[in-house]
Amino acid sequence: MVTRLRALTIVALLIALVGGLPGIAAPAKAAPRTVRVATHDIEPFVMSHDNLKSGFTIDILDQIAKHEGWTFEYVDVANVSEQLKAVADSKADAAAAALSITAERAALFDFSQPTLSGGLQIMVPAGSTERSSPGLVDFLKLLFSKAVLVWLAAAFVLAVVPAHLIWLTERRHADSPMSKKYFPGIFQAVGYGLGMLAAQPDEMPRHWINRIVGILLAFVSIVFVAYYTATLTANLTVEKFNSQISSPADLVGKRVCTVDKTTSASFLQQEGIGFTGVPAIKECYSGLKGGDFDAVVFDAPVLAYYVAHDGSEAATLVGTIFMNEDYGIAFRLGSDLRKQADEALLKMRADGDYDLIKQKWFGTGS
């Protein structure tokens, strides 16, 4: 009996000893921690209503908080550059929203695993790509345009110059119906010249020189009318062609809006495309509605959300996504938070929580 009691005592001591060894005990939950995150409102990533935040990025952060036992304190700033500055100045532990991962930023910050893949896209006013043919307004604009006046002047010169030669020679012919006086003779000659340009003169001249001039004018009129028609047709449709934007190459010479100090602004600068930089994307939206801009270039998910909601009647997306990029959470270099956030993101992808959040905000087709 005593031997059995000693054996049980030894076993109990061994169990207690093994249980106290590091790495042998059951894993403990992460210690609660408050993490300050710099954000700015940009639909559908971050949206603020009555001191409550929602959006794709907020849902992602909430799941990370559940996995890691964190509590988030949000530091509201105006834009991406201020987000990154807040992290660099230790006013925030992380920055998250529609934050693109770039080589330049990765040299200054530690980024998490990508939270979303996206890129840039072009948005134009609704209806700018719908018209397939010029209308009555376009015709009236062309009718009273400078181009028409120039061509009418050219036609007048082509009629007046030969008219003097016709009048000088034709008035000497005995059977000529043309007046021998300068007025109205010159008007009759001009009328003949204009008639030849239209290939339908009222009367043929009597003098052989004028018949040769008439033949030459007939050939000139064919070329003139054909070129004139082609030019006016091109002028009538050029506005329609100019309004068609479907790729970055079409943005040259257009009034383009984007947000300053973002990847979209950097792209436009590199491509030599002029643009107006604004502090917030909402200014581009209002400018597009007001006719101040021909196009907006920005993050595709942001523009897609706007077109599907508030901008459904005011704007439309054109072309495909270009300059593909990933979005992530930025931490200070060497921050231990980055590794924990990555572990949580990997768990979210494994258990399906990430897919549910993505579908909630961007649908099944994203």
Q: What is the CATH number of the domain that holds 264?
A: 3.40.190.10
In a domain? residue 60: yes
Q: List C-alpha distances in Å: 171 to 164, 176, 186, 208, 279.
A: 11, 6, 10, 13, 76
101 with 88, same domain: the answer is yes
> What pLDDT is recorded for position 239?
47
> What pLDDT is recorded for position 12?
55
In a domain? residue 64: yes
For CA atoms 213, 214, 216, 217, the dihedral sign is positive
Nearest one of 293, 247, 239 to 131, comparing CA atoms: 239
Residue 97 identity (one-letter amino acid): A
In a domain? residue 13: no
The helix/strand/coil state of 131 is coil
In a domain? residue 67: yes
> What pLDDT is recorded for position 174?
66
227 with 317, same domain: the answer is no
Expressed as residue numbers, the domain containing 227 is: 136-242
In a domain? residue 19: no
92 with 165, same domain: the answer is no
Percent helix, percent strand, percent coil in the chain, to nearest 5: 50, 20, 30
In a domain? residue 6: no
Nearest one of 245, 259, 260, 249 to 295, comparing CA atoms: 245
37 with 108, same domain: the answer is yes
The C-alpha atoms of residue 324 and residue 118 are separated, in whole angstroms, by 6
CATH code for position 156: 1.10.287.70
59 with 106, same domain: the answer is yes
256 with 287, same domain: the answer is yes
Q: What is the dihedral of CA 189, 194, 200, 204, to 10 degrees?
A: 20
Please identify, among 208, 225, 242, the residue that sits at the C-terminal boundary of a domain. Answer: 242
161 with 252, same domain: the answer is no
255 with 221, same domain: the answer is no
The H or E element spanning position 196 is helix 182-197
Domain count, the chain: 3
> What pLDDT is recorded for position 236?
59
Q: What value, to the nearest 5°, has the Cα angle with vertex 79 and ends 312 and 290?
A: 35
> What pLDDT is recorded for position 333?
97
In a domain? residue 308: yes
205 with 217, same domain: the answer is yes
153 with 221, same domain: the answer is yes
Reading the block at residue 253, the tokens are 């010479």
Q: Which residues of the chain have pLDDT under 70?
A: 1-31, 128-139, 142-143, 172-177, 193-208, 210-211, 214-215, 217-218, 221, 232-243, 364-366
Contact 51, 110 (CB under 8 A): no
The C-alpha atoms of residue 146 and residue 114 are separated, in whole angstroms, by 55
The C-alpha atoms of residue 221 and residue 138 are separated, in whole angstroms, by 26
251 with 203, same domain: the answer is no
> What pLDDT is recorded for position 135?
62
pLDDT digits (tens, 9 = 90+) for 8-56: 555 555 555 545 544 444 444 456 789 999 999 999 999 999 889 999 9
In a domain? residue 11: no
Radius of gyration of the chain (CA): 38
280 with 302, same domain: the answer is yes
